[in-house]
Amino acid sequence: MADLVVLGFDDRESAEQVFELGAQLQQEELIDLADAALAWRDDKGKVRIQQALPTTGAGAAGGALWGTLIGLLFLNPLGGALVGAAAGAVGGKLTDIGVDDDLIKRIAAQLEPGRAAVFALVRRSTPDRVADALKQYRPVVLHTNLSHDREEDLVRALQDDVAEGR
């Protein structure tokens, strides 16, 4: 089972840097993310969400492949690809994999304008190395599905340098 961690940031730029850092840490095999999302409230109060896994595009690609194959059977591969891509895009849009969209919207709606949050669904990680990489952005733990003890450990790990005045 993956662990969900939602970190809050004072500004969108810091959250975007952490969102990109997740991909870098994944390449370094320090973290294995099942999904990630970035949410922020703009200055007008509108909630914006950026998903790491765009399900619509993936669904369209898969649908086009299957549509082409089925179209070949009926001697109309182009028509099959078009119908398959459209069906796949709709299916991808309706499929909710990874971080729950309703949770993202609910937490993002609680953010103050200008603030942001990063949602990470973590399969496995090297916690101390990941925490060290995150500390400079001064994240606040907004939500997790971790046990109370593990959540407290995470909060302490992210605040070590802050408490020491570094």
**Domain coverage including residue 87:** 55-94
Whether residue 37 sits in one domain with residue 105: yes
Give how many domains the chain has, as a whole number.
2
pLDDT at 1: 75
E strand spans, the chain: 3-9, 31-41, 47-51, 116-125, 140-144
Q: Give the CA angle between residues 118, 119, 121 to the nearest 5°.
A: 145
Whether residue 67 sits in one domain with residue 140: no
Whether residue 109 sits in one domain with residue 47: yes
pLDDT at 153: 93
Q: Cα(first)–Cα(last) distance of the chain, in Å?
A: 35
Whether residue 49 sits in one domain with residue 108: yes
Whether residue 80 sits in one domain with residue 28: no
pLDDT at 56: 44
CATH number at residue 130: 3.30.70
Whether residue 90 sits in one domain with residue 110: no
Which H/E stretch holds residue 14? Answer: helix 12-27
Find the Cα–Cα–Cα–Cα dihedral 14, 19, 23, 26, rounded to 10°: 90
pTM passes above 0.85: no
Neighbour-count burial for 130-142, b at 16+ CB within 10 Å, e otherwise: bbebbbebebebb
Task: Give the pLDDT of the chain (166 residues) as one tens digit per residue.
Answer: 789 999 999 999 999 999 999 999 999 999 999 999 999 998 888 999 998 865 444 454 555 554 554 555 555 555 555 555 555 544 444 444 578 999 999 999 999 999 999 999 999 999 999 999 999 999 999 999 999 999 999 999 998 654 444 4
